[in-house]
Structure 1
Amino acid sequence: MPRVSFAPPSLCLTFLPLLERLLPSLPPTVRDVDVPPLFREQFILSGYRPVDLSWRCSVLSLFQIHNETLSVWSHLLAAVYVLVRFFMFAVLQGGGILGVRLQGPEGQDFSVDVTSLPLVLYVFSAVTSLSCSAAVRLLHSEHTHHSLFFLEHVGVAVYQYGCALALCLYSSDTAWTQSMLGQIFLPVVAVVVYICCYADLHLHRPYPWHRRICQVVPRGVAYLLVISPVTQRLASHNWANTSTLPLHFLQVALFLLSAVFFSCPVPECFSPGRYDIIGHSRQLFHILLSICTLVQQEALFEDFLWRRQALVREFGEERLLLACASFLGLMLCCVMTALIIKRRTHVQLLKEGR
């Protein structure tokens, strides 16, 4: 009777050492006293990853249970959903892909659809911000933190201006567009967003309370300015006539709730150590912010279909292209500022021997 062998194939034996090198075992999580103050969160006592992990260990920690796991996954899944949902919308309802129609006016060649370019830039800004935030929390070392720290705040600034651009063109009504604020909206937002980005790049953890106020207050002012086209519609229109306004209201409510968790360490302040892995304020902030982005995207899709036909007639093709160019200009300014400040920070760290 033939015998059945359960010995692993020689091919498996050949690849096992390679897999062990490519997939190293992850070190266990540690307590707050075992990591530098740079990585500590108030009232979070455990679940920290050791500092200066290799890049492989940092990436693999995506599948490890620690106090940043849900924050990273919330941003990664949201970024993937934003992209997939956008491509589905562009193919099935948007009448074009990435702002390009498949047929021109005479049925030949390609033609750029300027009305959809702001929507493309919004999606780009959302994915950029979510991806940068996830990378900062996933790549866990002091060197990568200082490098990605600047990238994250540039992503936030780009996302804020992407929101302002899309809301100004798609979600505003005629009365707001013709108002004084509507006429100077984008230049003012660009200046405010850049100032916020510059302030964020200068503030390093751990934040003194007065510097944290200097960080939160400008961000709050910028957000109120960015959503002003929506707040005007929410206050003056009948919600029963459109499905977009409830989505905008939900987005505002989610953002304000996330701001509460960003500013206040609840619920962990009431029971330090109990919410280390699930339920602490930074985690709730990131989850709510991810959901907020998804809700806003759905609202903008509906507003885009509502305003698309009249957009060129109301704003003009040149003004739309100039608005899109201003997005690229702001992004370039933020990136250049981040690189300059990063270089200064690197020199300072070298002087401190870090």
Structure 2
Amino acid sequence: MASTVTLEKTTTVQSGDTGVGSPKTVLRSPLLMKGRKVGDGGGEDATDNCCGHRCELISYDKLPEFLKHNEFIVDYYRSEWPVKEALLSAFSIHNETINVWTHLIGFFVFLALTVCAATMVPMEYEVSHTPLVASTGLDNITGNAMVLRSYSADGAAVVAMKALRSNVSVETGLAAALSPPAGLRVARWPFYAYLCGAMFCLLMSSACHLLACHSEHASYVLLRLDYAGITGLIVTSFYPLVYYTFLCDPLFQALYLGFITASGAAAVVVSLLPVFERPELRWARAGLFACMGMSGLVPIVHKMLVFGDRPEAVLTTGYEMAMGAAYLAGVVVYATRVPERWMPGRFDLAGHSHQLFHVLVIAGAYAHYLAGLVYLSWRDMEGC
């Protein structure tokens, strides 16, 4: 019995029998199967996606099923790349490059905002009235607390509204706003919980877009972390809104916080199901996250019914509406896959729906950050 073995792209084993109909078996090396282009038919023309340190981009029809998420993005895909090459691909051009960098840059922006808030937003106050407050009587503007220095660009407008409402000159109110505040600080954890939720969401999204091309298992794990990040962003967005609005009403505070936390936990459990990531369930995923976000309308309406005459309530509601509009627009773009649906292949590298979705998420998250600053200044002034 003789045999001939050729080690090229395939391994060919031929039987020594020369008779008609002798079997011929084609065996493929696992190393080559890992890197070959899917969809090449498995014959002699099969090539590697990665050969040494050179990896190739392929089209949608050559992708394995676990990477087929959007048929309107037709080219520039990475498929089953080694981890090192996948990491380095952050600095090369493919259809995920902008997705990686939009949220990676967003992560560093929110990290900077967190550091800024931790260092610039006052963390503790002395229980004493300043001479300026005592001499101007500004401690009567908002009960027994003075006008607090602004934590945001809109603070001057809040001070002006309070001064006008209290028949105190705007100049006097602004002067008082520059003084050290009186009263005790309110808890900071809801505000920083939101910032951590935003950073986790942005970092997990960036990692998913960068490394999910490595393998089916990596894609499964990273997609679940991505969904958990989205859920975390939505849940923690409720915390400043609910905690600071209902600071003096523990019942509604606990009710709203408990509901959104339980909803978030349920959403994470649902996202663990393998069927959850199927392309045809794109609308179901979008609907789940949209419903979680829309439930925020209940405490916002409640806030306006109770504090509708307060400039802080009006201002934070404006920011929250801007956040909701950005998130809703992002969900619609994500679910409908426009504009690439209209011109498949035209937006493979730049301008497709997921990139727009990322930008809208960052815009909405930043609007809520500004609302959080207003909540802090409001409750630091008045407490409960």
TM over 0.5: yes
What is the match of residue 95 of structure 1?
A: 122
Q: 1:167 aligns with which of 241, 254, 270?
A: 241
Q: CA distance change for structure 1 residues 61 and 302 in 2, over 3 Å: closer, same or farther? A: same
CA distance in 2 between partners of 1:290 and 1:78 (Å) = 6
Q: Structure 1 residue 214: deviation in Å?
A: 3.9
1:189 aligns with 2:260: yes
What is the match of residue 222 of structure 1?
A: 292
CA distance in 2 between partners of 1:259 and 1:234 (Å) = 26
* Secondary structure of the structure 1 residue equivalent to 2:272: helix
Q: 2:74 aligns with which of 37, 45, 59?
A: 45
Q: CA distance change for structure 1 residues 227 and 115 in 2, over 3 Å: closer, same or farther? A: farther
What is the match of residue 31 of structure 1?
A: 59
Q: Structure 1 residue 275: deviation in Å?
A: 1.0
The answer to whether the 8 A contact 1:160-1:226 is kept is no
The answer to whether the 8 A contact 2:201-2:226 is kept is yes
1:198 aligns with 2:269: yes
- 1:234-245 matched pairs, under 5 angstroms: 237=308, 243-245=315-317
Q: Structure 1 residue 114: deviation in Å?
A: 6.2
Instruction: Kindly provide the CA deviation profile for residues 13-46 of structure 1, in whole angstroms up to 9, marking residues without a partner as x.
Output: xxxxxxxxxxx85523221122212212121101
What is the match of residue 300 of structure 1?
A: 372
Q: 1:62 aligns with which of 79, 83, 90?
A: 90
Instruction: Kindly provide the CA deviation profile for residues 216-235 of structure 1, in whole angstroms up to 9, marking residues without a partner as x.
Output: 33322211123533355568
Q: Which amino acid letter does the alignment assign opposite residue 193 of structure 1?
A: G
Q: Which amino acid letter does the alignment assign opposite residue 190 of structure 1?
A: T
Q: CA distance change for structure 1 residues 47 and 181 in 2, over 3 Å: closer, same or farther? A: farther
Instruction: Kindly provide the CA deviation profile for residues 178-204 of structure 1, in whole angstroms up to 9, marking residues without a partner as x.
Output: 598655111111221122111122144
Identity of aligned residues (%): 22
Q: Structure 1 residue 173: deviation in Å?
A: 6.1
CA distance in 1 between partners of 2:339 and 2:310 (Å) = 34
The answer to whether the 8 A contact 2:240-2:372 is kept is yes
The answer to whether the 8 A contact 2:270-2:276 is kept is no
Q: Structure 1 residue 79: deviation in Å?
A: 0.9
Q: 1:75 aligns with which of 103, 106, 112?
A: 103
What is the match of residue 157 of structure 1?
A: 231
Q: 2:197 aligns with which of 119, 122, 125?
A: 125
The answer to whether the 8 A contact 1:78-1:291 is kept is no
Q: Structure 1 residue 90: deviation in Å?
A: 2.2
The answer to whether the 8 A contact 1:234-1:249 is kept is no
Q: TM-score of the superposition, structure 2-length normalised?
A: 0.63
Kindly name which structure, 1 or 2, has the bigger radius of gyration based on alpha carbons: 2
Q: Which amino acid letter does the alignment assign opposite residue 44 of structure 1?
A: I
The answer to whether the 8 A contact 1:136-1:149 is kept is yes
Q: 1:267 aligns with which of 332, 335, 339?
A: 339
* Structure number having the greater helix percentage: 1
Q: Structure 1 residue 302: deviation in Å?
A: 1.9
CA distance in 1 between partners of 2:250 and 2:186 (Å) = 24
Q: Which amino acid letter does the alignment assign opposite residue 48 of structure 1?
A: Y
The answer to whether the 8 A contact 2:283-2:335 is kept is no
Unpaired runs of 5+ in structure 1? Answer: 1-23, 106-111, 314-354
The answer to whether the 8 A contact 2:103-2:206 is kept is yes
CA distance in 1 between partners of 2:264 and 2:290 (Å) = 11
Q: How big is the alpha-carbon RMSD for the aligned residues of Structure 1 and Structure 2?
A: 3.1
CA distance in 2 between partners of 1:234 and 1:268 (Å) = 40
Unpaired runs of 5+ in structure 2? Answer: 1-51, 128-183
CA distance in 2 between partners of 1:263 and 1:79 (Å) = 24
| Number of residue-to-residue matches in the alignment | 273
Q: Which amino acid letter does the alignment assign opposite residue 210 of structure 2?
A: L
* Secondary structure of the structure 2 residue equivalent to 1:115: coil
Q: TM-score of the superposition, structure 1-length normalised?
A: 0.68
Q: CA distance change for structure 1 residues 26 and 160 in 2, over 3 Å: closer, same or farther? A: farther
